[in-house]
Structure 1
């Protein structure tokens, strides 16, 4: 009841707006369910974060207002705090990682916030903001683990139940730290307990799901950064308490499913949701695929602060996320006419990618992408036909290294190369990051492979190969551990073995 009163009494509409619920006509038709989208992308900062930030700052005491506020954020919360504080005549300091894209830094300054850049990641910025706030006597505005912030986010639920009085099967809410889910679940479960409230997290950043399953908050070793707005290693203390009690379920979505949801939002509304904003819709589609049900399915589009440079990556992965594209590695005989026969076998299907290079020997490896109307059914039929022809087929549609790097490097073999180790790494997207990597590993090992593409994020994805003899592997691993960059060893990756490893 305390949260119900706090939500109904929340001060958000001095700066926030009541956002509409749009019916997603195309997606509703495909799923055979009534799919609705709550448009928090239409807020002044293009995100729901303005609600909680304003409600928290509006409730400061007079002395706290004179002193000012501080927060740590690389995106939407930063803009919400900056605009809210400016509207209320309060000075704000926003600590952001040095890897934050300039567009987000400029937005915070535009809304009146003082930007302080510190650290490579959110955890660094958060710790520094806490220290700086204590030194200056500033009030820290938490992005999610605060009752006033939770109550502000809960006003979305009030609007949903006012705007859609008909039957609702479930409301899908993206989860980072859990403030939005806690606020919405508190109100919906009080007023309409029959309505399911389902949290959605990225499969590589599911801190709330892990906490609920463990019965206590856990700290993830690492989180994926594609949906950076919800990339949180540990759920909040208060938000976990509420979500554990009130959420019906937490589902996850991978990068390809999120990209497909971004495309769905664009096709129905012509707006570009950020990955975290489309996350709840990705979870909704997974839920809808379980079978038919009654009532509307409502997803929260939590934000639209999309970096333009990231669109290329989203477009590449959306078809796979929709199960409309497959990637195959096919081994065919290296004989005259085999290339043509393989293309004939593909038939009239749309080829999205085709990488082939003749090599010495009896076999050739082909990297092929195909757009299919029904990937699950057609893939089985196509692979069966290839098996009949004696082709060896490896489905690499879910292979992250193949999708990010190897598809652009097919044919790059080095004859006679031995002891190659291949790593998939994440580098901070700032000058000097590569040099730091080279300094850390030293000059003991030669770099044999390097591939990088900018994906419009605050980190870079890199595939790197080094020639490391077996008796030096322990020393090499120690160097990597000391550096601290996230990485995966891909030396045994089958796609790498087919297309890049020296024979």
Structure 2
């Protein structure tokens, strides 16, 4: 297997189209974490992603007859752009099937490169099935996004460049993983040429298909896949890529949304470029690994794999960054409902900066405030704030890791309404929904619920992402609660969570 891929990587003749991207020293990140960090700038490719390497290498390997018949691919965006750009260069007709949730910037770019775009399904797997059906119907040649030897070899040229650009000692290389094409190519080449270098795969916590496969010792299909890092939102690792990765990588690291957002900011501060979530994923893993293993003075390389993101998403990314950097913590704090309580609370916090403060009078002897506090970098900042407040007699609930609090409650604090006494058998139940964001999606969602139960609370905020997020309370008779759960589960493509017992709701909105 290694010799098979090494020869293919060395034989890849892609540089009449793909660029040899720089390996940049990340000065600010390096100083902050005490290690020498380098970024492999695949965001500087002509299509702003490494995917051009594998797509072009695969096209070059096709026969003249296959090229003449046209090619097709399913992609959430980056492979689509790489293939469309490559096909235009070679004069090959390209058709791309993309999920309807694909960011508009990627759809527009693919069309701009001359490919025909078909929007189908909400996730990659649905788009892929439709593309395969068109192969049978139209006679196109399918170009896989990752699970193909020529594609893997094309991506492997990234590793070849890294070792040529940094011939000195390297401790570890961190590679983002979706289907595994880039990781398989990089790991194979690195372990053959420089086996002393560790190679770590990095996945989002909510789309960790490689981690699941390694734990099960076989490929598995994730029941649900998070889509924040849409470029790596894959439910099952590729067959060919898994066979390579299980024998070549040194471990898998997972990163959450906040950690990815913090890495996007890190890349911006060092390069003045904006990575997409999947593009910053490997740096998020690098930082996490360095902190957990207390690394110092090591040479670490992260592959910045792409920069295709919607501008609208930057607001959401910015909001989550401070928590991802562990520089902000969110708390629910109970304070006396009396004059001077605010001033005393601020004094008890000391010199810490308050980043957010939400409150609305509701009566009673005590008030609940939703407060954001700037904390020292590192894992102990939150604990220190909690200890300080508790020592001063405050009741504190840590909401920093509470997804509902971060997505909704911080924008909703204030406003409570008791149920009428005549409706004593009615319960207010709180649910959080997530569904594909596209024109008419919100209206369709509301139409599903029309006339069923009274909506007593509703919060929706457009984050510029592929999926809509809603927090909603409904007044549901006790004897209909089970039927409501069955109904929600029947809504196709609509994920939901029962948040009625979430402390953020109980403290601020119930």
TM range (shorter): over 0.9
Taking the aligned partners of 1:328 and 1:346, their CA distance within structure 2 comes to 12
Taking the aligned partners of 2:98 and 2:379, their CA distance within structure 1 comes to 43
Please name the residue that 1:456 is paired with: 464
Taking the aligned partners of 1:379 and 1:427, their CA distance within structure 2 comes to 32
Taking the aligned partners of 2:132 and 2:108, their CA distance within structure 1 comes to 23
Tell me if 1:308 matches 2:311.
yes
List runs of 5+ in structure 2 lacking aligned partners. 421-425
Alignment of 1:283-294 (within 5 A): 283-289=285-291, 290-292=293-295
2:234 to 228, 232, 235: 232
**TM-score under structure 2 length normalisation:** 0.96
1:455 to partner: Cα distance: 1.4
Instruction: Say if 1:441 and 1:476, in contact at 8 Å, map to a contact too.
Output: no
Please name the residue that 1:372 is paired with: 375
Please name the residue that 2:80 is paired with: 78
Deviation string, structure 1 residues 161-196 (Cα, Å, up to 9, x no partner): 000011110000000010000000010000000100
With over 3 angstroms needed to count, the CA separation of the structure-2 counterparts of 1:265 and 1:211, relative to structure 1, is same
Deviation string, structure 1 residues 313-339 (Cα, Å, up to 9, x no partner): 111111111111111110111122212
Tell me if 1:243 matches 2:279.
no
Instruction: Say if 1:176 and 1:231, in contact at 8 Å, map to a contact too.
Output: yes
How many residues are aligned here? 501
1:322 to 306, 321, 325: 325
Tell me if 1:394 matches 2:397.
yes
Taking the aligned partners of 1:228 and 1:87, their CA distance within structure 2 comes to 27
Taking the aligned partners of 1:311 and 1:387, their CA distance within structure 2 comes to 36
Taking the aligned partners of 1:377 and 1:214, their CA distance within structure 2 comes to 34
Please name the residue that 1:357 is paired with: 360
Of 410-419 and 223-232, the range deviating more from structure 2 = 410-419
Deviation string, structure 1 residues 223-250 (Cα, Å, up to 9, x no partner): 1111111011110001011111111000
Taking the aligned partners of 1:415 and 1:72, their CA distance within structure 2 comes to 50
Instruction: Say if 2:175 and 2:303, in contact at 8 Å, map to a contact too.
Output: yes
Alignment of 1:178-327 (within 5 A): 178-289=180-291, 290-292=293-295, 295-327=298-330
1:165 to 155, 164, 167: 167
Please name the residue that 2:496 is paired with: 487
1:382 to partner: Cα distance: 2.7
1:381 to 378, 381, 384: 384
1:276 is paired with a residue whose SS is: helix
Tell me if 1:5 matches 2:7.
yes
2:446 to 438, 447, 450: 438
Please name the residue that 2:435 is paired with: 427
Instruction: Say if 2:348 and 2:392, in contact at 8 Å, map to a contact too.
Output: no
Please name the residue that 1:88 is paired with: 90
Tell me if 1:134 matches 2:136.
yes
1:70 to partner: Cα distance: 0.5
Instruction: Say if 1:437 and 1:483, in contact at 8 Å, map to a contact too.
Output: no
1:406 to 385, 404, 409: 409
1:293 to partner: Cα distance: 5.1
Please name the residue that 2:156 is paired with: 154
1:439 to partner: Cα distance: 3.6
Taking the aligned partners of 2:436 and 2:185, their CA distance within structure 1 comes to 33
**TM-score under structure 1 length normalisation:** 0.97
Please name the residue that 1:471 is paired with: 479
Taking the aligned partners of 1:466 and 1:133, their CA distance within structure 2 comes to 46
Backbone CA RMSD of aligned residues: 1.4
1:373 to partner: Cα distance: 2.5
With over 3 angstroms needed to count, the CA separation of the structure-2 counterparts of 1:373 and 1:293, relative to structure 1, is closer
Deviation string, structure 1 residues 77-116 (Cα, Å, up to 9, x no partner): 1101101111111000011122333322210011111111
Taking the aligned partners of 2:381 and 2:123, their CA distance within structure 1 comes to 43
Taking the aligned partners of 1:174 and 1:8, their CA distance within structure 2 comes to 22
Please name the residue that 2:42 is paired with: 40
1:424 to partner: Cα distance: 1.4
1:431 to partner: Cα distance: 2.4
Deviation string, structure 1 residues 258-291 (Cα, Å, up to 9, x no partner): 1110111011111101110000001101111112
1:377 to partner: Cα distance: 3.6
Please name the residue that 2:505 is paired with: 496
List runs of 5+ in structure 1 lacking aligned partners. none
With over 3 angstroms needed to count, the CA separation of the structure-2 counterparts of 1:388 and 1:291, relative to structure 1, is closer
Taking the aligned partners of 1:223 and 1:93, their CA distance within structure 2 comes to 25
1:294 to partner: Cα distance: 5.9
